[in-house]
Structure 1
Amino acid sequence: MVTAITEGIEVSVEVTYQAEFSSPLQHHYVFTYKVTIHNRSDITVQLLRRRWEISDAAETRKIVEGDGVVGQQPTLEPGQSHSYVSGCNLRSGLGKMKGWYTMQKVYNEKEFEVVVPEFQMIANIFHN
């Protein structure tokens, strides 16, 4: 698990290789990742947008941007958390992701960026 804190907003990511949905011979590797966002600040915030930078050892690089996360724009009061699971397909068994969330402070509508720490995606192709 990797974790980063920006302006009191903690983002933690756990990655799982999905061998049963992957096909290494066809250069298709599937990963899921669970993100937990914890508001450790003393203000209420809302997640508005996301931006991901995804790259792999096959030299594939892509940018993914959009509103919210998995169709939601959660509002977090101080002390609250929000978790979600999403996935990523790579052409190689080794990759990484990083990015940020654009958050808004509810009381003054000021936007700020929260770092999503870089995390590695490594296929365990020698599983039992």
Structure 2
Amino acid sequence: MTDSTTDIASNIAITVDTGFLAEQSLPQQQRFVFCYTITIYNHGQQAAQLLSRHWIITDTDNQVQEVQGLGVIGKQPNIAAGDSYTYSSGAILATPAGIMEGSYEFRQADGEKFNAPIPAFALVQPSALH
């Protein structure tokens, strides 16, 4: 007899678009403001509700910020099977570049909870690239 398991998290795909907000940044005061837009695709057979987020944000001085909390932007969206959810948020770093990565906790319609990883992505002030 063979046991098989399904990686539920692999039913969730995440894409990220980033930007630098020059008008909100104060480089001379080590304040670099970034925006990001995330789209979460539910490729599974059941609806999945995003319960919480966990971020690890690291700047180029290796300063780490850890952010945990319920939902995203004050919401705990329920993403139907075959549907997607998009939101935008931001991060403030003390350096002109850094990376973010983390995970979302979801609950499927049948009550099963799982974590979906958020792949690392870069936050970079355009003039920081030479």
The TM-score normalised by the length of structure 1 is 0.90
List alignment gaps of at least 5 residues for structure 2. 1-7
Q: Following TM superposition, by how much is the alpha carbon of 1:50 offset from its aligned partner in structure 2, in angstroms?
A: 0.4
State the Cα deviation string for residues 51-110 of structure 1 (Å, max 9, x = none): 000010122101100000000001111111110000000000010000000001112x11
Aligned Cα RMSD in Å?
A: 1.4
Asked which structure has the greater CA Rg, the reply is: 2
2:76 counterpart SS class: coil
The structure that is strand-richer by fraction is 1
2:112 corresponding residue in structure 1: 110
Q: Following TM superposition, by how much is the alpha carbon of 1:25 offset from its aligned partner in structure 2, in angstroms?
A: 1.2
Cα contact 1:41–1:79 (8 A) shared by 2: yes
1:125 counterpart SS class: helix
List alignment gaps of at least 5 residues for structure 1. none
2:96 corresponding residue in structure 1: 93
2:32 corresponding residue in structure 1: 29
The TM-score normalised by the length of structure 2 is 0.89
1:43 corresponding residue in structure 2: 46
The AA in structure 1 aligned to 2:121 is F
Q: How does 1:2-81 map to 2 (within 5 A)?
A: 6-81=9-84
Distance 1:6 1:12 in 2: 14
Q: Quote the sequence identity (%).
A: 34
2:23 counterpart SS class: helix
Most deviating of 15-24 and 117-126: 117-126
Cα contact 1:19–1:125 (8 A) shared by 2: no
Cα contact 1:45–1:103 (8 A) shared by 2: yes
